[in-house]
């Protein structure tokens, strides 16, 4: 399952970033995944729970935003959103649209962390 290796790399990247930012813990991780990235959202959510076990980000929530596929239609000279990831044709004019503008993304957008100072004052 390749989502598991993605999950581990997210855990690694986020742990490092959060610790560099002096975080006490990570609450949320915001991700963007394009529909052409080949990543299955549910599989990634499941894998993340496994991958995060015993790590710095254990207990953090993954917030995944799925990005639709956007291609450029040369005939219409505009960017259009595809209904299906299997048919690369402009929905307006039916021309082939091989130029992909968006949809292959797989990126960590931002983190919601609790910093140590705040955490300590909350406990005292």
Nearer to Zn ion, 16 or 95 (CB): 95
Q: How far, in Å, CA of 87 to CA of 89, rounded?
A: 6
Q: By the 8 A CB rule, do 6 and 38 touch?
A: no
User: Rule CB under 5 A: is residue 90 a binding residue for Zn ion?
Assistant: yes
Residue in the structure block whose two tokens are 């917030």: 63
The SS3 assignment for 22 reads coil
Strand partners, 81: 70
User: Rule CB under 5 A: is residue 52 a binding residue for Zn ion?
Assistant: no
Least CB distance from residue 20 to Zn ion, whole Å?
A: 46
> Binding Zn ion by CB under 5 A: which of 44, 71, 73, 113?
73
User: Rule CB under 5 A: is residue 92 a binding residue for Zn ion?
Assistant: yes
Q: By the 8 A CB rule, do 33 and 68 touch?
A: no
| Size of site (CB under 5 A) for Zn ion | 7
User: Rule CB under 5 A: is residue 76 a binding residue for Zn ion?
Assistant: yes
User: Rule CB under 5 A: is residue 75 a binding residue for Zn ion?
Assistant: yes
Longest CA pairwise span in the chain (Å): 65
**CB-count burial class (<10 Å; 0-12, 13-18, 19+) for 69:** buried
User: Rule CB under 5 A: is residue 79 a binding residue for Zn ion?
Assistant: no
Task: Return the range that interacts with Zn ion (CB under 5 A); candidates 8-16, 62-70, 82-90, 115-123.
Answer: 82-90
Residues that bind Zn ion (CB under 5 A): 73, 75-76, 90, 92-93, 95
């Amino acid at each position: 399952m390749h989502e598991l290796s993605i999950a581990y790399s997210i855990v690694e990247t986020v742990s490092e970033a959060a610790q560099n930012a002096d975080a006490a813990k990570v609450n949320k991780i915001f991700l963007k995944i394009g529909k052409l990235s080949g990543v299955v959202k549910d599989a990634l959510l499941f894998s993340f729970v496994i991958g995060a076990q015993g790590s710095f980000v254990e207990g953090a929530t993954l917030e995944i935003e799925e990005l639709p596929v956007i291609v450029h239609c040369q005939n219409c000279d505009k960017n259009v959103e595809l209904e299906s990831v299997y048919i690369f044709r402009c929905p307006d004019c039916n021309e082939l649209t091989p130029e992909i503008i968006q949809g292959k993304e797989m990126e960590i957008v931002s983190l919601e962390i609790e910093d140590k100072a705040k955490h300590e004052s909350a406990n005292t």
